Structure 1
């Protein structure tokens, strides 16, 4: 069981490095360093240790809000997260989380995002809302969000929604319940972001974060308030660690023509293979046969033939240079995944990728 849970974990928690720079070599002094601001909404309780910022305990209700800046070293390779093994981090080689700032109210968080939007050109005013997966502590979630935003070339503003994962391999059940516990807060956060001056919102969820995201969308749809702002441009569900039979039921409140969800799957995802065994042999959405999944009305992007820098093939959406940049290009187009790709966009899709439409027929098929 320990080996299985280790395999399906979504991150290797780094050292607690929030706000800890290298006093002998500050990140701002290192030539070629890039800086990525990440806004945070979280259901985690505030921690006493400033190097943790928020703990793994659940806030009973409502979310906490903050912002950090992540420095990315000049030698960074697309598709990787260079985590520090020791403290203080070395900004020449490591990602470093700097300058944490808390917002005491949702209104102040909204104001901060609006200020950031106002400082951007009109074609770079979308928000990406990223929802992480199982076994992911806050530093790891921040680093993944920064890496994905940076490597994808997304020109808008990244917002991390961090639910109260323990960040420990033996806390699968706690994490599962923490994800479900955060449904209301994810809905509130999405509505808060939609109320800003952002021109659009792109949602990207990974692994167990998909269970939270889909449940929140379903709840909002049943209440008749899903995407009332019409600002959601794309919903990318990467490697969903979700029971395939449950997924079919979760989609029922959505009319088939409104299931504009993009599901990234891979039948060589080793983490989901282990998860399937733990779940009694029920397929996970992330390794469900693409043609069967597409019959539900979603668009399936099959990444089986795409290489991953991870040996588990569970994070291709962020670890594969081809895929992370493809997602970024589509989000930056403005109409994103909701429109058929242009001829120019087709030329940028890797030849190993197969895309199936909601009718279960291949609209882009490569050998």
Structure 2
């Protein structure tokens, strides 16, 4: 058999591998349940605290600080963790400890992990959190993390996001079984596919709480999982019929543009009208993802006019250059962006309408552009 060496193909594969290696910096330690014996979070003044509920397709972990592993579980697990935010926190930053134990005076910590044996126990716990909030703030936020995330990664990012947006409701993290290793992209993609079936159970749990309404925020590969879950709920006839969905926000979507068009086509106009897509032309991670996918463009770097024609609102972050978390996570790493999202989530009505003066104020001094609202 004649084998012809293709230098272009080889160089392309090498470029992808090098890019993946550059993305894979050393990961900080897992911190869930790791308390500082000499500086307790319970006695540290001026901390912000967020009880974050977790629905997961990960199996349990015996590793200190991990709580959950990269292995796939056979059923949905339920838990919650209290995350503390230091009084020195800066908007757009994630002051994550590089060494253990965390210092709650200057670093995020994750304490008081609780496990729930069934849906009812989780629902009761969420309802207690909702009852502690005034009418008008009894909302849920479902956050779906992306590729290459541990539970600690996603949990702390969500806590920082809740803190910086000023979200007033109760946050829920959907932690699916990412391998949290840059070279295992295909494993993560398959884990997301496996996890999409659990969206129904999560939606059932949310519908049975006393929440007034819900928001959904997904990042990267988590947007693929979210869209697949929405399509599944639409086909089951339950999407949007068991509670009000305010916003479905998709940040840096790692979705094939043709697949996204197909997914949108299976959703009702009422749901499409609530979808907001955060894009950025300089997203390096999605450029790598496009190469892995054989050159097919990803939604997060797609042309804004093309996306607008699909009936979704597009939030273009291409000119934002101050993200502490890089080009792929501007939703949390840029002060302007995270505060804009917060103003939209906490507003009455659709994102960016005249009922949200805070949104208009941010847009007037920021290079963020919104199309299709």
Corresponding residue to 1:4 among 11, 15, 19? 19
Residue in 1 that maps onto 2:101: 88
* 1:12–1:136 Cα contact (<8 Å) kept: no
Give per-residue Cα distances to partners, 1:76-109, cap 9 Å, x unaligned: 1111111111111122221111010111101100
Residue in 2 that maps onto 1:104: 117
Deviates more, 1:24-33 or 1:143-152: 24-33
* 1:150-229 to 2 correspondences below 5 Å: 150-229=163-242
Deviates more, 1:49-58 or 1:155-164: 49-58
Deviation at 1:229, TM superposition (A): 1.5
CA distance, structure 1, for counterparts of residue 30 and residue 307 of structure 2: 39
* 2:93–2:324 Cα contact (<8 Å) kept: no
159 and 233 in structure 1: CA distance in 2 versus 1, 3 angstrom threshold:
same
Q: What's the secondary structure of 2:265's corresponding residue?
A: coil
Q: Which runs of 5+ in 1 are unaligned?
A: 358-362
CA distance, structure 2, for counterparts of residue 51 and residue 158 of structure 1: 21
The structure showing larger relative contact order (alpha-carbon pairs under 8 Å, at least 6 residues apart) is: 1
CA distance, structure 1, for counterparts of residue 71 and residue 118 of structure 2: 20
CA distance, structure 2, for counterparts of residue 275 and residue 8 of structure 1: 12
Residue in 1 that maps onto 2:288: 274
Deviation at 1:309, TM superposition (A): 2.4
Which of these two proteins has the greater Rg computed from alpha carbons? 2
CA distance, structure 1, for counterparts of residue 235 and residue 23 of structure 2: 31
* 1:343-358 to 2 correspondences below 5 Å: 344=357, 345-349=359-363, 350-357=365-372
Residue in 2 that maps onto 1:37: 51
Superposed CA RMSD? 1.8
* 1:57-136 to 2 correspondences below 5 Å: 57-60=71-74, 62-136=75-149
311 and 183 in structure 1: CA distance in 2 versus 1, 3 angstrom threshold:
closer
* 2:349–2:355 Cα contact (<8 Å) kept: no
Give per-residue Cα distances to partners, 1:177-207, cap 9 Å, x unaligned: 0011111212220231122101110000000
Instruction: Give the TM-score normalised by structure 1.
Output: 0.92
CA distance, structure 2, for counterparts of residue 8 and residue 214 of structure 1: 25
* 1:257–1:297 Cα contact (<8 Å) kept: no
Does residue 276 of structure 2 align to residue 262 of structure 1?
yes
Equivalenced residue count is 355
Give per-residue Cα distances to partners, 1:53-90, cap 9 Å, x unaligned: 11111112x31111111111111111111111111112
Residue in 2 that maps onto 1:296: 310
Instruction: Give the TM-score normalised by structure 2.
Output: 0.90
Give per-residue Cα distances to partners, 1:330-364, cap 9 Å, x unaligned: 21124343x7343624233353121111xxxxx6x
* 1:12–1:140 Cα contact (<8 Å) kept: no
227 and 42 in structure 1: CA distance in 2 versus 1, 3 angstrom threshold:
same
Q: What's the secondary structure of 1:241's corresponding residue?
A: coil
Give per-residue Cα distances to partners, 1:146-172, cap 9 Å, x unaligned: 000011111111110100111111111
CA distance, structure 2, for counterparts of residue 246 and residue 12 of structure 1: 33
